């Protein structure tokens, strides 16, 4: 199994176009596109996990995902969605020029992309797209895929007040190599069953949106709290749990993605970044390739 971290920033990317905070204004920091993953069981057929508004640039920047060998051939076969947020679904519109893709996601997400944000009826007019509700445990695309609901936070554009789950994490298992990748870019809490979900994983990529719960209030003059309102578990909380699991799971590598532009961990010179690395956790850049 191969995986590529196409993007590692939260919605808006880094630096963010409408922000002049010290982090966004620092020309020495490495830019990041909005988070997303590409995964393949054989290195030939690739599936995206989320499709950000940056998807065109991400695909063109990734040799394994470029078009070919035929003039209209592409290795991209489908998309798995963790949620219905715009930064994870707007890229579907950019993919409309494909002959058709298979899209998998939670039922509530697929409904939202039909009823509230009409991606499905629009792209269906461009090609033979298929839309499938993802089950909790099934074998697809050469991999065993497990799904864990992690949040009921709905996108702002959604009018539906019932249903869910709205956000899930994925566990991809390669039966040929035994490699296991867990991808959870959005975590409102450390949910029930998550310890078991990451047990035995080779690599776990977690929500690193905010470093601490007061980050937005400190840097953007907002009263919003990261965990309670924005639906993202701060790094300072998840890092404590990772330390506890580390002794029991020494073979698991951990990393953060979906970093918000306010997150001080974007700067390798900060104490926050140093603390993450001291715990044995990575903050990988865009384009990181994983072989599991």
CATH code at position 145: 3.60.15.10
Residue 118 lies in a domain: yes
Q: Per residue in 155-176, is it b (16+ CB within 10 Å) or e — as a string?
A: beebeeeeeebbbbbbbbbbee
| Residue 72 pLDDT | 86
| Residue 164 pLDDT | 86
Residue 290 lies in a domain: no
Q: Which residues pair with 145 in a beta bridge?
A: 138, 172
| Residue 161 pLDDT | 76
Residue 292 lies in a domain: no
Going by pLDDT thresholds of 50, 70 and 90, the confidence category of residue 162 is confident
Q: Which residues pair with 7 in a beta bridge?
A: 36
Q: Is 76 left (phi over 0), alpha (psi -120 to 50) or beta?
A: beta
Q: How many alpha carbons lie under 13 Å from residue 202 in its C-beta half-sphere?
A: 14
CB 176 within 8 A of CB 189: no
- Claim: this prediction has a pTM higher than 0.85: yes
| Residue 218 pLDDT | 52
* 237 pLDDT above the threshold of 60: yes
* 228 pLDDT above the threshold of 70: no
| Residue 231 pLDDT | 80
**Residue keyed to tokens 């979906």:** 258
* 58 pLDDT above the threshold of 50: yes
| Residue 221 pLDDT | 45
Which spans in 170-234 are helix H?
Answer: 194-198, 215-220
| Residue 229 pLDDT | 45
Residue 26 lies in a domain: yes
| Residue 247 pLDDT | 59
Q: Would you state the structure tokens that stand for residue 238, as one six-digit string?
A: 């998840």
| Residue 100 pLDDT | 87
Structural domain boundaries, residue 156: 2-285
Q: Which residues pair with 173 in a beta bridge?
A: 144, 180
| Residue 214 pLDDT | 72
Number of domains comprising the chain: 1
The overall average pLDDT reported for the chain is: 92
| Residue 217 pLDDT | 60
Strands (E), 23-121: 36-40, 46-49, 76-80, 102-105
């Amino acid at each position: 199994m191969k995986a590529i971290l196409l993007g590692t920033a939260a919605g808006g990317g880094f630096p963010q176009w409408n922000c002049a905070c010290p982090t966004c204004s620092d020309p020495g920091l490495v830019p990041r596109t909005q988070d997303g993953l590409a995964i393949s069981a054989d290195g030939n057929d690739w599936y995206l996990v989320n499709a950000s508004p940056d998807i065109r640039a991400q695909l063109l920047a990734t040799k394994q995902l470029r078009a070919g060998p035929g003039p209209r051939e592409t290795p991209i076969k489908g998309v798995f969605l963790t949620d219905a947020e715009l930064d994870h679904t707007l890229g579907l519109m950019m993919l409309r020029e494909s002959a058709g893709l298979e899209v998998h996601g939670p039922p509530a997400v697929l409904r939202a992309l039909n009823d509230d944000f009409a991606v499905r009826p629009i792209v269906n007019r461009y090609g033979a797209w298929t839309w499938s509700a993802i089950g909790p445990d099934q074998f697809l695309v050469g991999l065993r895929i497990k799904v864990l609901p992690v949040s009921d936070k709905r996108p702002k554009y959604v009018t539906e007040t019932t249903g869910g789950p709205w956000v899930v994490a994925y566990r991809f298992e390669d039966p040929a190599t035994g490699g296991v990748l867990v991808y959870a870019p959005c975590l409102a809490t450390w949910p029930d069953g998550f310890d078991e979900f990451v047990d035995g994983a080779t690599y776990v990529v977690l929500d690193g949106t905010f470093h601490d719960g007061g980050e937005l209030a400190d840097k953007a003059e907002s009263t919003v709290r990261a965990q309670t309102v924005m639906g993202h578990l701060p790094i300072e909380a998840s890092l404590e749990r990772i330390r506890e699991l580390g002794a029991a799971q020494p073979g698991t590598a951990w990393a953060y993605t979906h970093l918000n532009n306010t997150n001080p961990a974007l700067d390798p010179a900060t104490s926050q970044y140093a603390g993450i690395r001291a715990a044995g956790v990575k903050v990988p850049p865009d384009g990181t390739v994983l072989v599991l």
